[in-house]
A and B are shown apart, each in its own frame.
Chain A
């Protein structure tokens, strides 16, 4: 029977070397793909994913039993990605503003209308999704990635980015509105 993440960590700390390998193989793909969608670049994603698991290994003893391992792991991955991009100057400190910063649209009533079919058809090769993510601010992008690609709840995302739950929900709503405006404008 497959062991859960907390047991694998206990086993590794107890001296079972293979346990960390199992843990890495279980989660590396998710972390790599988070980094890839966040940065849009394969080489940077590889560096970020490698650095993330190196930090996970260094800090395993700090992991608290009972804590959600996925949120702990993605917290490290997210911070690693931000640090990496800041060092490469691909990210400005102002890209991560407090709530009420200038990058956000005014909150609107959610538009229930579906997108035109031709847009959905054009999106089949994945390029539209890549472009849309690239258009978003890093703060909006990470919420979309965590929610849509890693099925994390808003509470889990709030724990990762260390923001209040309502802030996350507002950020998500605004991101969706912005995405619609981008898509309709391009169309």
Chain B
């Protein structure tokens, strides 16, 4: 019995797929990719812009912190009296570490990280949006 039904079922042959159907699928996927790329470009483009704007006040804050702490004074010793520095290099290094404007450095590095990450993601997604590649 099963063999008979196999013969019956085999007569219901496979349908062929026209080429336009493949293109329809790829076009739909491509359209979704572009939409997602536009959304990411909008989000990361904005964070790129904000981080570029934020760099200026962050740099100002960092340099103010840098001058207000003793860090600049210790650092300038290296250029003014290097023999003293070499003799007391351990104490100098500890003093530099202690007086470093950590918060300012951390904020500056965070902004740089956001800027560079946003730039990378924005560039990748801008390529997709403006230079879309089509399936063959």
Closest Cβ neighbor of A130 among chain B residues: B12
Complex interface: chain B residues within 8 A of A128 (CB): 8, 11
| Residues of chain A within 8 A of B16, CB atoms compared | 29
Number of A-B contacts (CB under 8 A): 89
Number of interface residues of A (CB under 8 A): 44
Contact status A28-B1, CB under 8 Å: no
Q: Which residues of B contact A36 (CB under 8 A)?
A: 15
CA separation between A50 and B8, bound complex, in Å? 28
Q: A32-B15, A128-B11, A149-B9 are in contact. Are A54 and B4 (CB under 8 A)?
A: no
- Inter-chain contacts of B21 with A (CB < 8 A): 28, 32, 46, 49-50
Assess whether A111 is in contact with B11, with CB atoms less than 8 Å apart: no
Q: Mark A104-146, 1 if CB is under 8 A from B, else 0.
A: 0000001111110001100111101110110000000000100
A153 CB to nearest chain B CB (Å) = 15
- B8 and A21 contact, CB distance less than 8 A: no
Within 8 A of B (CB), among A31-65: 32-33, 36-37, 42, 45-46, 49-50, 53-54, 57-58
Q: A54-B29, A113-B1 are in contact. List 12 more A-B contacts (CB 8 A).
A: A18-B136, A21-B136, A28-B17, A50-B25, A111-B1, A120-B7, A126-B13, A128-B11, A176-B2, A179-B5, A180-B1, A180-B5
